[in-house]
């Protein structure tokens, strides 16, 4: 993928949208493996996802695009409202 070019043919500088962020989230113990798998699939579409520990209940997702971060925060808020998970951005 080539960098974006401005009308004057200069390469555009990296914007705030390209800043990488990490978000940690953990599923409640009452959440079934099947339900957690569905959430992991949806959240994984937002960035690079990895397990934070061996329990397979805690995960870290690395997001590089602002639009993906907005969608991720929407999913995580919904999960928190439903009592499925808790989350926190990288400090």
For the stretch 28-84, pLDDT in tens is 999 999 999 999 999 999 999 999 988 889 999 999 998 999 999 999 999 999 999
Report field, pTM of the whole predicted structure over 0.85: no
Alpha helices, DSSP H, located in the chain = 33-44, 66-81
Beta bridge partners of 23: 61, 89
User: Distance between CA atoms of 53 and 83, rounded to whole angstroms?
Assistant: 21
**Within 13 Å of residue 83, how many CA atoms lie on the same side as its CB?**
4
- Biggest CA–CA distance in the chain, Å, is 57
Which pLDDT band, with edges at 50, 70 and 90, does 12 fall under? very low
Per-residue pLDDT, 18: 59
pLDDT band at 86 (very low <50, low <70, confident <90, very high): very high
Q: Provide the pLDDT for residue 91.
A: 58
Domain boundaries, the chain: 16-89
Q: Are 79 and 23 in contact (CB under 8 A)?
A: no
- Considering the chain, what is the average pLDDT of its residues? 84
Domain 16-89 belongs to what topology?
Answer: Alpha-Beta Plaits (3.30.70)
For residue 30, give the 3-state DSSP assignment: coil
> Phi/psi of residue 21, each to 5°?
-130, 150
């Amino acid at each position: 993928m080539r960098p974006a070019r401005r009308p004057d043919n200069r390469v555009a500088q990296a914007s705030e949208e390209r800043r990488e962020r990490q978000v940690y989230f953990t599923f409640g113990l009452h959440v079934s493996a099947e339900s957690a798998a569905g959430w992991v699939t949806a959240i994984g579409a937002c960035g690079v996802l990895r397990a934070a520990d061996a329990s397979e209940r805690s995960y870290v997702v690395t997001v590089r695009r602002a639009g993906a971060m907005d969608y991720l925060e929407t999913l995580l808020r919904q999960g928190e409202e439903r009592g499925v998970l808790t989350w926190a951005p990288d400090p």
